[in-house]
Structure 1
Amino acid sequence: MDASTGAGAGAGGGKRTGSVRYLEIAEALRTAILSGDYPVGARLPSESDLAARWSASRGTVRQAVATLAAEGLIGSRQGARRIVLRHERRHSFGELNSFAQWAQGLGQEVTSRFLDRTRRPATAEEAERLALPPGTEILAVLRLRLLDGRPTMVERTAYADWVAAAVEALPDDCRSVMDSLAADSGVVAHYGEHLIDALPAGTEDARLLGVRRGSPLLRQRHVSATQTGRPIEWSDDRYRAGSVTFSVSNSAAATPLERRTGDL
């Protein structure tokens, strides 16, 4: 759903950055944990050992480890080595992993189809969310996501003008836009804000998801931004009821979830 690219980064480039590297390390550690190489209660190697193993900086390793901690796979007290907490995975708002990464972690097959990609002026809300001047041209995307061949989510996303060309160049069956942007263009999402509510399925959503018109859908709207805070996308994702459960872990020190009124 970038990082070292900064405000002057465009969609071109393709150079692998440290930000992309931490995703690779996180995926390798995640696979080892989920496969049982590190049983529940086991300690991960130290940051210095992990950095040596992957020839990476300790800062990059720290980002990878923090990603797994946000997923709830590992945890520790400050200053202690990370301990494996569990072997199942939830879609947590403490992470910014893509839909495809989340589903793959559950062992489900992910397929996606671009149904429409259109350049048009941003609406007032899109311009505000993407921090663009009113009327700036954005790329509006309609996409259907499937799990194990079953329609699961309809995604409507407005991509900022500076990444539009890179998204247009992706194949129709691209599994993950954000993963592809990270790998091909060094565009990595570091920050996100999520809004969750429910709404009835309209005619188009009902047709695409194979449900009755008016059926309840879980909606997640989110904006993703680079490490420098530059917005990448503003998305409206609508899930078939019962297809996904979102997890938010908090503590006395960190409370990522807050309640808001329903008019956002």
Structure 2
Amino acid sequence: MNEAPRTTPLYLRVAADLRTAITAGEYGSGARLPAEDELARRHGVSRGTVRQALAALRADGLVTSRRGTRRVVLAAPGDAGSAELRSFTRWARSLGREPGGRTVAVDRVAADAEEAEHLRIGAGDAVYRVRRLRTLAGAPVMVERTTYPEAVGALVAAMPLDTVSYSAELALHGVLFMDAHHTIDLVAADGHDAELLGCRAGEALLRERRRSTDPAGAPVEWSQDRYLPGTVAFTVHTTAASALGRRLGP
């Protein structure tokens, strides 16, 4: 296996080895990966560790996710057929664009009714609300307004304010973003949006509301991302593994 820091969870090291093999073309698009027990034998780990590694690859849109069957490679990184909605950071870098991030506010507060519903917690339970500006090549593109359950939010709150990818850092702590439910609509920019994005208050922004869950189906974030118009568009691909994807421009 590839060398990795001892602090890196074992399943992420297995995922990194498999990702390298897929990138190198060892498994072409549409090919079946070896069975879980075979992968466990090759890497000297348990089948549970292999399942976690495959879950991480699924989160990246590289393999299918049907438990009990051999996973199928959907597309190698960079393939045009990969429509998975990856994190903002991974998406930007896949296009050769440099993503940036700046945390504006992190507040530990009591969950309101909407947050409680989406995170499946009690109203009034502690959550972390995070507001962050995202950029492409230094230009403001989007304001993230994300609410995390307390355990996940505490990890986010401890990260440096200029952390580019929360999801990558959270994965090191065993927090994976597996599935997401998306709603796309328009919303008027408020004063905070206007200040961060350089637009006018009241201007229409493209909003993506998203609830993400981990491999066990537990919610790990409830987010409302607000994009400047004309910077990003969303496309929906209807396939056996339907996904929502981003692209630049209107």
Normalised by the size of structure 2, how large is the TM-score?
A: 0.71
Deviations 1:150-192 (A, max 9, x none): 11110011111122221111000011112211113x1112232
Cross-structure match for 2:201: 213
Over the residues paired in the alignment, what is the CA RMSD in angstroms? 3.8
1:101 partner amino acid: R
- What 5-or-longer segments of structure 2 have no aligned partner? 1-5, 245-250
Deviates more, 1:49-58 or 1:150-159: 49-58
Which amino acid letter does the alignment assign opposite residue 238 of structure 2? N
**Kindly tell me: are residues 188 and 254 of structure 1, through their superposed partners in 2, closer, same or farther at Cα, counting changes over 3 Å?**
closer
Q: Which residue of 1 aligns with 2:175?
A: 187
For the residues of structure 2 that align with 1:91 and 1:138, how far apart are their CA atoms?
Answer: 31
For the pair 1:233 / 2:221, whether they are aligned, the reply is: yes
1:126 Cα deviation after fit: 0.5
SS at match of 1:113: strand
| 1:84 shift after superposition | 7.5
User: Is the Cα contact below 8 Å between 1:71 and 1:91 reproduced in 2?
Assistant: no
- Render the CA deviation track for 1:30-82: whole Å, top value 9, x for unaligned: 67777x8679879687568877776566776677678778877789xxx8995
Q: CA deviation at 1:225?
A: 2.0
Shift of 1:125: 0.2
Partner of 2:129: 140
* 2:185 equivalent among 197, 202, 225: 197
Aligned length: 233
| Aligned equivalents of 1:117, 1:208: Cα separation in 2 | 16
Amino acid corresponding to residue 169 of structure 1 in structure 2: A
Q: Specify the SS of the correspondent of 1:92.
A: coil
Q: What is the alpha-carbon distance in structure 2 between the residues aligned to residue 161 and residue 81 of structure 1?
A: 33
The higher relative CO (CA closer than 8 Å, separation ≥ 6) is in 1
Q: CA deviation at 1:101?
A: 1.6
Matches of residues 1-264 of structure 1 in structure 2 within 5 Å?
16-17=8-9, 21=11, 87-88=78-79, 92-93=84-85, 97-184=86-173, 186-251=174-239
Q: CA deviation at 1:24?
A: 5.7
Whole-Å separation in 2 of the counterparts to 1:98 and 1:254: 18
CA, structure 1 residues 246+30, in 2 after alignment: closer, same or farther (shift >3 Å)? farther
Distance 1:140 1:197 in 2: 21
How far apart, CA to CA, are the structure 2 residues paired with 1:243 and 1:38? Answer: 36
Q: How many Å separate the matches in 2 of 1:161 and 1:126?
A: 12
Amino acid at match of 1:167: V
- Distance in 1 separating the partners of 2:225 and 2:157: 19
TM superposition outliers: structure 1 runs of 4+ over 4 Å = 14-18, 23-34, 36-75, 79-86, 88-91, 253-257
Q: Higher mean Cα deviation, 119-128 or 215-224?
A: 215-224
Counterpart contact for 2:141–2:197, Cα < 8 Å: yes
Does the residue aligned with 1:180 lie in a helix, a strand or coil? helix
Give aligned-pair identity as a percent: 41
Query: Which runs of no fewer than 5 residues in structure 1 stay unpaired?
Result: 1-13, 258-264
TM-score (norm. length: structure 1): 0.68
Take 1:42 and 1:134, find their aligned partners in 2: how far apart are those partners? 45
CA distance in 2, matches of 1:114, 1:208: 11
